[in-house]
Amino acid sequence: MKPNVLAVIPARLASTRLPGKALYPIDGKPLLEHLYKEVSRAGLIDRTIVASDSTEIIQAVERFGGQTLKTSKKHRTGSDRTAEAAQRLGGDIIINIQADHLGLKAREFDKVIQGMLSDKSIKYATFIKRIETESELYDPHRVKVIFDKDNNAIWFSRYPIPYLQGVSGNRVKEFNFYYHIGVYFYRKEALAAFHNYQRTSYEKAESLEQLRILENGGKMRVYKTKCRIWSIDSPKDLILHLHSGSKKQKIF
């Protein structure tokens, strides 16, 4: 029997960098609607919900026909909010899909789920993408990742890693740097373990919840994607999209 797969989009209005981001209109629809509908197209996902402590977000999602869950206001991370949803709704594989990155296609979610179905040793998984420009490399909103020969994450940092000693000029041409995309796949017991861990020192220092997993000895499998990702880190990112008529900026 196929495990039940629950996709959770944790959303809040009080985003640190861009308040109200989840409801910003993109091509006439809330950002959340675009994300929700693409995730819902994945054939291996059984249920998609938006989990939020915001009545405004809940109502907006219900207006476009999405499923919602009202959650506690106490959660510090999206994965902790996702853990509450999983406790209440169930699921054997649970996906936390943060709305910082748009552009992932439904087939990419199915690819990772299929990987987890084939390899029971995978408890945690996520997406990464190759860095293409110097500006991305030095942007702290682009979380860099290094990984081992088995495609398990070694470390995540807002700082460029690894450091290339003796290299000058365009570093992205000298080395294949990768950045992390904010989607987390958990087995049920792995998400429960994550939620029960105390926040760790490196997690707090970098403000990266995935470091809590690595600091507690967990392994996170990384999957490369070639999808064109649009990252939303500031009002400038939205303005660039909203005021551009070029196909290059078009994501949906």
pLDDT per residue over 9-54, tens digit each? 999 886 655 567 778 878 888 889 999 999 999 999 999 999 999 9
Q: Full-prediction pTM beyond 0.85?
A: yes
Residue 171: partners with Cβ closer than 8 Å, 6 or more residues away? 134, 137, 160, 164, 177
What is the architecture of the domain spanning 5-128+180-199+218-249? Alpha-Beta Complex (3.90)
Q: Quick one: pLDDT at residue 246?
A: 38
- The values of phi and psi at residue 76, to 5°, are -95, -20
Q: What span, in angstroms and rounded, lies between the C-alpha atoms of 136 and 176?
A: 13
Q: Which of the pair, 210 or 238, is modelled with greater confidence?
A: 210
pLDDT tens column, 55-90: 999 999 999 999 999 999 888 888 999 999 999 999
Residue with tokens 């992390």: 180
SS3 40: helix
Give the chain's mean pLDDT. 89
Specify whether the CB–CB gap between 5 and 44 falls below 8 A.
Answer: yes
Percent of the chain residues past pLDDT 70, beyond the cut: 89
Residue 203: partners with Cβ closer than 8 Å, 6 or more residues away? 209, 211, 212, 215
